[in-house]
């Protein structure tokens, strides 16, 4: 891990107020592998895979991997996705798997209520792109990602008004840069992938990561040492985009063109 930036001293009072509300977080893993995530949403507009339940696609998951050198209590999971804005979703499901002897085992699967949509970034093949996050409530047991373990994390939106319509997809990032040990994994009985399949081994034949971030609570002692300043950690900077992009056929959606 490396420290990327500190908040300016002028905003100490704002940060202290946020800390009092329990909003202070540390960015532990950053898979928004683009040049300017604040304006481009952290996704590369190359492709997408279904990540939804009880929608037009009845079941699909997208996950991607993380590996930490210290224990991380998971508080917030943030991601870039796209959905059909004409329809509403009732909840978010978070899944965490561990790679044990090259087999993925589910260790957590949580239903966490409504996502918080932070920003939208226009349409991508008819779907509204967005950044959103979900948090694990303090009332629930702490979910700790242990140092040295190889985990995969992902979310999907659950549609709940009984019409089995609407779409939600996870967006790719990095233009082929892989941040971690492997590419993302895809699982869907609907599309014929009952096992957790590396995305390059699906019909898309696309080696890619997916856009997400992992946040932990800011330790109170660290806040004191920093005088109320926010320490942000980033896994590694984004890689250079490839000079050419593979055409692909995203699950159940039109094939995107190169950006």
Same domain for 19 and 94?
Answer: no
How many distinct structural domains can be found in the chain?
Answer: 2
Same domain for 16 and 35?
Answer: no
Domain around 197: 25-212
Same domain for 180 and 66?
Answer: yes
pLDDT of residue 46: 96
The structure tokens listed for 152 are 């995969």
pLDDT of residue 240: 37
- CA–CA distance, 98 with 78 (Å, rounded to integer): 19
Same domain for 42 and 88?
Answer: yes
Same domain for 163 and 174?
Answer: yes
The pLDDT tens digits of the residues spanning 7-37 come to 333 333 333 333 433 469 999 999 999 999 9
Same domain for 4 and 46?
Answer: no
- What are the residue ranges in the chain where pLDDT is below 70? 1-23, 161-163, 220-259
Residue in this structure with the two tokens 């039109």, named with its chain if needed: 254
Instruction: Give the global pTM.
Output: 0.78
The structure tokens listed for 46 are 């190359």
Same domain for 5 and 132?
Answer: no
pLDDT of residue 15: 38
pLDDT of residue 218: 87
Same domain for 107 and 224?
Answer: no
Same domain for 140 and 167?
Answer: yes
Looking at the chain, the number of H-run helices and the number of E-run strands are 3, 19
Same domain for 1 and 52?
Answer: no
Same domain for 12 and 95?
Answer: no
Same domain for 69 and 151?
Answer: yes
Phi, psi angles (nearest 5°) of residue 106: -70, 125
């Amino acid at each position: 891990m490396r420290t990327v930036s500190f908040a300016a001293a002028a905003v100490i009072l704002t940060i202290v107020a946020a800390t009092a509300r329990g909003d202070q977080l540390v960015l532990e893993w950053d898979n928004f592998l683009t040049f300017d995530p604040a304006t481009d949403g952290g996704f590369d507009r190359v492709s997408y895979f279904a990540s939804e339940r009880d929608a037009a696609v009845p079941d699909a998951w997208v996950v991607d991997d993380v590996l930490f050198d210290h224990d991380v209590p998971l508080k917030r999971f943030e991601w870039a996705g796209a959905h059909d804005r004409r329809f509403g979703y009732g909840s978010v499901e978070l899944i965490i798997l561990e790679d044990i002897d090259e087999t993925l085992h589910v260790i957590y699967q949580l239903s966490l209520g409504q996502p918080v949509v932070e920003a939208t970034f226009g349409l991508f093949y008819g779907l509204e792109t967005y950044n959103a996050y979900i948090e694990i409530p303090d009332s629930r047991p702490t979910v700790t990602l242990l140092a040295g373990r190889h985990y995969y994390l992902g979310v999907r939106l659950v549609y709940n008004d009984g019409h089995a319509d609407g779409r939600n997809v996870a967006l790719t990032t990095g233009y082929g840069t892989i941040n971690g040990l492997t590419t993302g994994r895809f699982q869907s009985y609907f599309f014929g992938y009952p096992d957790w399949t590396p995305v390059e081994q699906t019909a898309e034949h696309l080696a890619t990561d997916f856009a997400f971030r992992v946040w932990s609570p800011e330790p109170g002692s660290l806040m004191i040492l920093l005088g109320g300043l926010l320490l942000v950690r980033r896994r590694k900077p984004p890689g250079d985009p490839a000079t050419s992009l593979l055409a692909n056929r995203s699950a159940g959606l039109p094939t995107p063109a190169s950006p």
